[in-house]
Chain A
Amino acid sequence: MRFAMEMWQDDSSLAYVKLAQHLAAHKSYKEACAALDIAAKKFPLAAKSRLRAARLQIIHERALHRGDINTAQAACEILSALFSPVQGVDIEVKIDVTRRHAQTLLGAGQFAEAASVAHSLFNTCYKYKMQLEGIIALILLAEIHKKAGSFVSGLPYALASLTLSKTFNLDLVHALAMVTLAELWLGLGPTHAQQALSLLQQCMTLVLGHGGRELRARTYLAVARCHLCNPAYSVHTNSQAVCEPLQAAAEEFEALEDNEQASEVYYLQARVFHVLGAVEERDHAAALFQKFTLALREAQTMETLNLPQ
């Protein structure tokens, strides 16, 4: 009886953690933390292990988005210390931590190190036949190449993840790969803007229906950039095509507290309003651009936050 009770506790605490993660991805970090608080009250036993890990994961994501690398790094390290050091145990969690490590390095701009960690991550996934995680590692690699500005070398990774996710019917990962691929094409220059746009339009319904805030925001931003890159496009004739996705992207990035991307969106928005001659809106967007740029700089120089022990 007691055992059954504990099992039930274990299962429902896991369910609560999943709910909190979903909230973090789709709503906001604040709501996710509130949900974790509720869960901690309910499951005092799990509070120290599983719930703490979940909280650290959320802190890590938030710090990464804000550009606060120090906190992200610290959270990542605590996370990796939480689990069994024995090889072959807690594989899923270790893979998650490795991925977070690579993301932190990427955020810090250490592309070569990030790429090597991502490579070893992919190798581990391959070794343990974890397809989903493997595909996500490939997408991460593509992203690292994209951030490093070497778009052509990122393409094979994006294409490989696209094919694999299609074979395994992983629709949302497929959409993620598609968005990444579109961003890579976009990086290759304005001649590829049309192709990128068509890729984005193909996965649009899936992204909007099932994707989290980050994916949605990235897609909106990419759509707007596709239009802006396209030499045939003119803001005057069809301003809606750019303004709407930019506004949506701004909202999503703000909710994510992603200072870097939000400032980019507001920069683009200010430029568009400038061309359109809407002075008031332009000034508003410019002020927001400034605000987020300052917030980013502040986050980058910030000391490590207090982390839950």
Chain B
Amino acid sequence: MELDDEVEVASRLFTLHLDKALSSPIDKAVWNPEKDLLAMVTKDQQLIMHRFNWQRLWAVSPEKRVTSLCWRPDGKALAVGHEDGMIALHDVENGNVFRQTVTHQCSVECLTWVEERQPMLGTAADVFFYEDRTPRFFPPPAKSPAMPGAAPAFDVSGAVGFLEDQNSSADAKAALKSSHQRINILCSGDRNGTICLNVFGVFLIGRVEVRDLDIKTSAMDNSNIQGDIYRLLDAFILKVSLSENLQQLSVLCSGQLVLSCSQKRRASNEVASGLFCMQINSAIVGCRSKELHQVALQVSSIEELLEVLQVSLNVMQKLWSDAMGAFQEKFQGLAQLLREHGSHANAQEELLSLLSCGLASTGVHQFLAVSLGEGGLKRLSKTMDTAFRELHVIISEHLQPVAEILAFRVGELRGISRWRARLQSIGLEEKLVDRAMEDAGMLLVQVERLLRMISDTAAQFRMFFAWLTKSLRQLNNENSPSTDQLPSINSEAVALFLKTQFEEDLLGPHLAPVSEDAVRIEIGIEESERLEELALMGGFLDSTFLHKSLNQQISQLFVSCQKAFSMPSKIVSQQLNFENMLFLGQLHQPNTLIPISLTYYEEKGNPVSPEAPCYICFLTPNKLSEVHGIVGIIRECTENTSVSAEKTRSWEGVALQIGAGLSCIDLSLYKEKQLVLLGRTISSAKAWLMILPIDGLPYKKITGAVEGPDLPNLCLSNGAVSHISLRDGRARILSYGDVVPPLAVSASRGLACVFAGQRRALLYDLEEDEDGQDIEMD
């Protein structure tokens, strides 16, 4: 009866914008924080993006199952966690993946992307500022060159697709850059209890293994023996979030709490199992956010540049092996002919005798005049020339500028790393960066050498072909005027070519892939002496680096960069320590996903504490049939203890008992300390959506032990209970009865999306009621 009244009153609250059919039921849905875009994962594993008017923007089908979703705070990228532990970043415009990272070993269960709040002016942190000087000194870096044969030039559709790709990668880079104004951190948690923090979603700075944390209870429980250390086993991260000042990491996870000293007999020592709320001190991240920002900026660019280097080198290698293959194939014909004609000399000797005496044996004559011909010679010469030109272009437009920017950026990083007072605590080691710097310098020299080598070789080949053409014409007794137009032949150079380059490919080893470790480039004694001399004058310490091929050099640089860049996460991870913990309730089945929402609300009336307290809402599984869902809300409260000026954090909690006949399905915290609840009626199979203010609820301080009663029971016994009916908040009865989770609420846009009947999506504007008539009538 009560419900019927509600229906009357509440039917016009919130504007229903859309009621659309869905092709497939929805598994996950997240609103974009900046634009009216809804990212969804369907149950058949499609990732789809819809506009506010339900127009589909794009859809992609990831190879692995999607287990979590979240937006970057600027709304330009979507992070997608997969069941194999990979996190992919999709571009909002077209759904293309522009970055993939594998930091987890198993399914990524939750993702949150937090942006640091602008620090207040005049604070101490304001003093430290870092500038990325690269754009002032260099043009934007070149992109990777296209692989030859990757896009057939005659196929129009292929060419178009190729162009599109180029654009999108540029967009992706721009999208990546635009997020770099302020530090933002992607927090991810997985099924095995591993939490990772990635700056900009690409640079890992911290990793927490929940099962390795020492959980001390002394702060929470005074009656217990001081200093008991617990461990949380089989942790399954349900939700993870960083506070906006990056000082604290809040984690909701399920697992078993055991006494640490007796891990072997863990079954008997189990203290509690179920849902826990844990806080981890990440002050190191908060205090050094500017340094981390700058380091992450440089590191992510360096990693991109390394990628370009590698791709360019692969392209060059392919170009050269194709050209050389064509050359050798033709001249194998010569050897074949010589053998047929019974000559004992090899091709090199025959050609040398042609050069020195101007006499061609029958084999050589036949080869030049018949099997090659002037046309064939021209073609071959052109093939080689084109290859050299392309190699030259790749070096001068991709490899060299990229190597220069890379060296500059590593140098900047070295400058930062030398400020030990600020940077040592986040693990940027000067020695390791120095090493990377040296490798980057060597790379520059190597690239320069390769460039010179290529132009030398190109000139030699050109000379050789000119000589062959001239010889051919002489053999054919042609004395056309065009013969005079050929460049004059330096026979010394041709002889040199025949002795060296003709027999073995000298350029090949420079471009050889790393796997061929036998590659060792010979350098002259004079050159190595000069290198040793330069080492005395402050040059590279490793005076044998010119023996390496370019590819080996790049992989060495890659390794040293990896070493230098993996240090911060090692050092920072050690400083992420357990702070406090709360037992929230038992779970029926372990590792089930329950509706949870976690937000930080700014305390407006309290200028003393600039920190935003954390609010956590969760729906306890309704194991008892008479209680249809209890919503537990806990919030953090800080108190200034009178004894010391230090602030102590403690928890306050309240339990919401949903009124009779109603059951709650999903919940989400909304802006200004309001809670959005989605539920059904048990009797008449109707669904309801309600916004409930949660500020004025009768919170009671929680002083529960980790093993103690679960939170709802604690609240019930404390009297911190509120019975909720649809009258308590702004509620609306929905037009479909069979609503299902997930409920997607956007706090910044004031929108909610409800999925019903497996195949319908309902879009509500939470800020706007359907029309003003209600108010006028009142």
- Report the bound CA distance from A244 to B419 in whole Å: 11
Contacts of B533 in A (CB 8 A): 38
Is A23's CB under 8 angstroms from B412's CB?
no
Judge whether B161 is part of the interface by a CB distance below 8 angstroms: no
Q: Separation in Å of the A160 CB from the closest CB of chain B?
A: 22
Judge whether A291 is part of the interface by a CB distance below 8 angstroms: no
Q: Please choose the segment from B122-130, B399-407, B509-517 that sits at the chain A interface, where 4 or more of its residues have CB less than 8 A away.
A: B122-130
Q: Separation in Å of the B437 CB from the closest CB of chain A?
A: 10
Chain B 516-545 near chain A by CB (<8 Å), digits 1 or 0: 000000000000000001101110000000
Nearest A residue to B136 via CB reads: A169
Contacts of B418 in A (CB 8 A): 205, 208-209
- Report the bound CA distance from A26 to B533 in whole Å: 18
Is A206's CB under 8 angstroms from B537's CB?
no
User: In A259-307, which residues have CB < 8 Å from any B CB?
Assistant: none
Is A23's CB under 8 angstroms from B538's CB?
yes
Q: Separation in Å of the A95 CB from the closest CB of chain B?
A: 26
State the main secondary structure of chain A at its contact with B.
Answer: helix
Nearest A residue to B534 via CB reads: A19
User: In A1-41, which residues have CB < 8 Å from any B CB?
Assistant: 16, 19-20, 22-23, 26-27, 31, 34-35, 38
- Report the bound CA distance from A202 to B422 in whole Å: 12
Q: Separation in Å of the A89 CB from the closest CB of chain B?
A: 30
Judge whether A201 is part of the interface by a CB distance below 8 angstroms: yes
Judge whether B264 is part of the interface by a CB distance below 8 angstroms: no
Judge whether B411 is part of the interface by a CB distance below 8 angstroms: yes
Nearest B residue to A39 via CB reads: B537
Is A208's CB under 8 angstroms from B537's CB?
no
Nearest B residue to A199 via CB reads: B127
Is A34's CB under 8 angstroms from B133's CB?
no
Interface size class of B (residues with CB under 8 A): 20 to 34
Query: Within the complex, which residue of B421, B536, B538 is in contact with A22, where a contact is CB–CB below 8 Å?
Result: B538
Is B537's CB under 8 angstroms from A16's CB?
yes
Q: Separation in Å of the A8 CB from the closest CB of chain B?
A: 13
Q: Separation in Å of the A176 CB from the closest CB of chain B?
A: 15
Q: Which among B128, B419, B537 has the highest number of chain A CB atoms within 10 Å?
A: B537
Q: Separation in Å of the B566 CB from the closest CB of chain A?
A: 22
Chain B 401-438 near chain A by CB (<8 Å), digits 1 or 0: 00000000001101110111110000000000000000
Is B537's CB under 8 angstroms from A241's CB?
no
Is B129's CB under 8 angstroms from A208's CB?
no
- Report the bound CA distance from A278 to B129 in whole Å: 35
Contacts of A206 in B (CB 8 A): 415
Contacts of A244 in B (CB 8 A): 420-421
Interface size of A in residues (CB-CB distance below 8 Å): 27
Contacts of A34 in B (CB 8 A): 536
Nearest B residue to A207 via CB reads: B415
Nearest A residue to B294 via CB reads: A205
Query: Within the complex, which residue of B129, B133, B538 is in contact with A19, where a contact is CB–CB below 8 Å?
Result: B538
Q: Which among A27, A31, A208 has the highest number of chain B CB atoms within 10 Å?
A: A208
Contacts of A208 in B (CB 8 A): 415, 418-419
Q: Separation in Å of the A195 CB from the closest CB of chain B?
A: 10
Contacts of A16 in B (CB 8 A): 537
Judge whether A198 is part of the interface by a CB distance below 8 angstroms: yes
Contacts of A38 in B (CB 8 A): 533, 536-537
Contacts of B127 in A (CB 8 A): 197-198, 201-202
Q: Separation in Å of the A197 CB from the closest CB of chain B?
A: 8
Is B415's CB under 8 angstroms from A35's CB?
no
Contacts of A210 in B (CB 8 A): 411, 415
- Report the bound CA distance from A270 to B418 in whole Å: 25
Q: Separation in Å of the A19 CB from the closest CB of chain B?
A: 5
Q: Separation in Å of the B415 CB from the closest CB of chain A?
A: 2
- Report the bound CA distance from A203 to B128 in whole Å: 10
Contacts of B420 in A (CB 8 A): 244
Q: Separation in Å of the A272 CB from the closest CB of chain B?
A: 16
- Report the bound CA distance from A31 to B535 in whole Å: 11
Q: Separation in Å of the B138 CB from the closest CB of chain A?
A: 13
- Report the bound CA distance from A35 to B127 in whole Å: 41
Chain B 475-499 near chain A by CB (<8 Å), digits 1 or 0: 0000000000000000000000000
Contacts of A228 in B (CB 8 A): none
Nearest B residue to A27 via CB reads: B538
Nearest A residue to B129 via CB reads: A202
User: In A219-268, which residues have CB < 8 Å from any B CB?
Assistant: 240-241, 244-245
Is B537's CB under 8 angstroms from A35's CB?
yes
Q: Separation in Å of the B704 CB from the closest CB of chain A?
A: 37
List residues of B whose CB falls within 8 A of some A CB: 127-130, 133, 136, 411-412, 414-416, 418-422, 533-534, 536-538
- Can you name 23 A-B residue pairings with CB atoms under 8 Å? A22-B538, A27-B538, A38-B533, A38-B536, A38-B537, A197-B127, A201-B127, A201-B128, A202-B127, A202-B129, A204-B419, A205-B130, A205-B418, A206-B415, A208-B419, A209-B414, A209-B415, A209-B416, A209-B418, A210-B415, A241-B421, A244-B421, A245-B421
12 further interface pairs, Cβ-Cβ under 8 Å (given A22-B538, A209-B415, A240-B421): A16-B537, A19-B534, A23-B538, A26-B538, A27-B538, A38-B536, A169-B136, A198-B127, A202-B129, A208-B418, A209-B416, A244-B420
